[in-house]
Structure 1
């Protein structure tokens, strides 16, 4: 357990190689211009090329993901389908895909993995890999000139243990029988261990350094139904938590906020235990 007053530091690092599928906890990871190495480099799309996610297909939480030097391996968390692999750097057919408002090109990963995914999520779909020759821009209103993987909008998501603790305190104050929400339901890349009395201190961070890498905190993250989804079973929380409680104290206009979107300003490596230094603080425009 963290002692009061200890330096802020990284307690967890996560990548999600396939958008909206299970994550991989890592001890050390490279920071690239588009985010953490291998984070959201693959994506499941429908036959029109529109991305699919746990928003509409919560069963995607049952898709396990593993990486080795040569392959991306997907597994069925239900144990029904045998695992299947595709080459990490294989060739394929370029196809047009859509991520929110962004139209870009990606590399189709073939019919075998498409059939496997179609059987698992019961929707005709394909697996695609991002092509570095088609950089995807972030929202220029918040991060002009930056690029991102297939993540929703920005290269990294940071959360803190203090903010989750305060959220769960409020959830359980309203319903003592409620189970605490695990951090994994927010699908962060970087979790910072923070004193409990500093909940949502990250709202005021504008630039920061983790280990040797500098970041700008460009925007609070507005949350969706995925945060109510068990990241093992795909089940939705029957009480719509944590969104129900976030709506009581973390609402800005129609958006419910938890976590901070980061854009790297320098490159390097992050590892668990790295210290966090806040470089600048201050207000920023509302969403």
Structure 2
């Protein structure tokens, strides 16, 4: 029997989740799921992609009382009623809407820990956010959809392939199921859990957040598990999927051990299956010249990783060859591309998805 194994909510975006035995579905997701998030003063969202230490924050919420702690000496309690009544401009992935700002003492608490000026925001009593694909469906501060389903068997398959020890919490799912075959969820279109019907709208495209250890908040080696996933879960555009985004048709209650009923199926998305490139037993050293700096490199790590190890920062968002922000111009040398999408026009390459074959020289696009 296919059933629910675990249920999670994440009251504050990018912070630790709370395991539940029962959850109530609402307009924008489970009750209290991603109703709070940190932002820049201008309202643009902040996540653990930029600040991995956010994953260490523990949260709890009882009615309107929220408790947040990083350690025994760094904790704060506040009430949602303390938030400003005015609706302030807010942005997530180019999606613009409004939210309410926390009182000064709360913002100062997080700003001091992150060493930058930030604000905590609440979705408010009424969700104002909508997305283009489903304008009738309210969304909280989740990246794009109210619910994320993960299949435990799919995770176990990935773990068997991946050289690094993984934790399913790295994928930040809301509903984790058991009893299905690996990636059976790819072919589901509509499911019923308890009294709630869910539509599976698309696979979830994964980013750098999955490469950060859920306990230590430190990145795993070799950009795992994205590096492994790209060999069997990447599409023609290089997007890497794991898990399924869902919306709920109705309100209701679901619980651990509830049966999953498949109401409608669909043709599964096609993924490009490739084999990992042959890795030589010995690391070959090389040099990486980026503009006016030359560093010692190797033929095993991505260009982005090696630059970061030498305190050379490139912009990025996904680290999986999707966003394109880490684009550089290859002036000299050769590289091995981990995905087809890593090589662009005019000698541009994605630093997150390319490994040097030998000495290389690269420049930022504005100079190239």
Using the TM superposition, give the Cα deviation of residue 156 of structure 1 relative to its aligned residue in structure 2, in angstroms.
0.1
SS at 1:209 equivalent: strand
- Counterpart in 2 of 1:276? 260
Q: Tell me which of the two structures has the higher relative contact order, counting C-alpha pairs closer than 8 angstroms and 6 or more residues apart.
A: 1
Distance in 2, matches of 1:53 and 1:186, equals 14
Q: 2:149 aligns with which of 148, 151, 158?
A: 158
TM-score normalised by L of structure 1: 0.89
> 3-state SS of the aligned residue for 1:136?
coil
Taking only aligned residues, the RMSD between alpha carbons, in angstroms, comes to 1.7
With structure 2 as the length reference, what TM-score do the two structures score? 0.70
**Residue 107 of structure 1: which of 100, 103, 116 is its match?**
100
Closer/same/farther in 2, CA of residues 241 and 80 from structure 1, 3 Å limit: farther
Larger Rg: 2
Distance 1:53 1:133 in 2: 23
1:69 corresponds to which of 59, 63, 80: 63
Q: Distance in 2 between matches of 1:103 and 1:155?
A: 17
Q: Where do residues 214-225 of structure 1 align in structure 2 (5 Å cutoff)?
A: 214-225=197-208
Instruction: Flag the 1:103–1:12 CA change in 2: closer, same or farther, 3 A.
Output: same
Aligned partner of 2:169 in structure 1 is 184
Corresponding residue number in structure 1 for 2:225? 242
What is the deviation of 1:85?
Answer: 1.0
Match of 1:3 in 2: none
Q: Tell me which residue corresponds to 2:159.
A: 168
> For 1:165, what is the secondary structure of its paired residue?
helix
2: CA distance, partners of 1:14 / 1:20: 13
Q: What is residue 238 of structure 2 aligned with on the other side?
A: 254
For the 8 Å contact 1:139–1:153, the answer to whether it is kept is: no
Q: Which stretches in structure 2 are left out of the alignment for 5+ residues?
A: 272-368
Runs of 4+ in structure 1 over 6 Å off: 284-287
SS in structure 2 at match of 1:219:
strand
Deviation of 1:144 after TM superposition, in Å, equals 4.7
Measure how far apart 1:254 and its partner are: 2.1
Partner of residue 186 from structure 2, selected from 203, 210, 232: 203
Change (3 A) 1:265 1:134: closer
Please identify, of 93-102 and 46-55, the stretch whose mean Cα deviation from structure 2 is larger. 93-102
The question of whether the paired residues in 2 share the 8 Å contact of 1:76 and 1:120 is answered with: no
Structure 1 distance, partners of 2:248, 2:203, is 15
Any idea what the Cα deviations from partners look like across 1:172-217, whole Å, max 9, x if unmatched? xxx4xx32x111000000000124xx10000010000011110000
